[in-house]
Structure 1
């Protein structure tokens, strides 16, 4: 497997978990990182996830990854910044972590593979892309379900 094939497999992993989440989360592409023999793909959730709903999201993803045959490698139960980490049967490391303002970040790190060019992801983001911006903004898309209980200041309605 080369880096491009590994990046495409990473996109499949990310696409599958995001398709499993209902109601849908809106997300954008985070930066792709290329190392000496590995690739990291990221998705940044732009849906405002209230503190009351973060446990639901983590639990849903945890159950999906386990059903998919992933081995859980770590769980961070921090109240403000929880995270779950797992490994796929083919050696890809996956994680979901909650950051500042409740923003969720999905990441896949590939195993070491043959060096090659890596193209941008072909997966279609469900939130605006922030090309040319140094930083992706905080979550700014309101969801009747996922944002329930969140302050208008944290995400507002859009």
Structure 2
């Protein structure tokens, strides 16, 4: 829920893209839109991943698995450690971060 400023979005996307390249992921699509950029990739074992920038600099990570057989999944036993949010989906980002929310370009 961190606000990523327009000046820092390319840096974050670049870090994600480099991390995925380092892991051997194949890039399947990129949209270099200034307002709503996104990247899509697939992993060697068949997972599909995407990172999309939405309104107000909110980042969305999506993942899709290859076909799996049904198994019983236990409920999580770790308590939630994030604040409960209510309202329409998707929630708007509202967390300011000293680095990612800054309105100056990131130093490379």
Q: TM-score range by the shorter chain?
A: 0.7 to 0.9
The structure, 1 or 2, with the larger RCO (C-alpha pairs under 8 Å, 6+ apart) is 2
User: Which residue matches 1:113?
Assistant: 68
User: Which residue matches 1:149?
Assistant: 103
Query: Any idea what the Cα deviations from partners look like across 1:103-134, whole Å, max 9, x if unmatched?
Result: 1000110111112345566788764243x755
- Alignment length (residue pairs): 104
- Structure 1: stretches of 5+ with no match in the other structure: 1-45, 151-158
- Structure 2: stretches of 5+ with no match in the other structure: none
Shift in alpha-carbon separation, 1:115–1:136, aligned structure 2, 3 A = same
Query: Any idea what the Cα deviations from partners look like across 1:16-43, whole Å, max 9, x if unmatched?
Result: xxxxxxxxxxxxxxxxxxxxxxxxxxxx
Partners of 1:142 and 1:111 in 2: how far apart?
A: 36
Single out whichever of 135-144 and 60-69 deviates more from structure 2. Answer: 135-144
User: Quick check: which one's helix share is greater?
Assistant: 1
Secondary structure at the counterpart of residue 66 of structure 2 = coil
Task: Kindly name which structure, 1 or 2, has the bigger radius of gyration based on alpha carbons.
Answer: 2
Q: So what's the TM-score if we normalise by structure 2?
A: 0.82
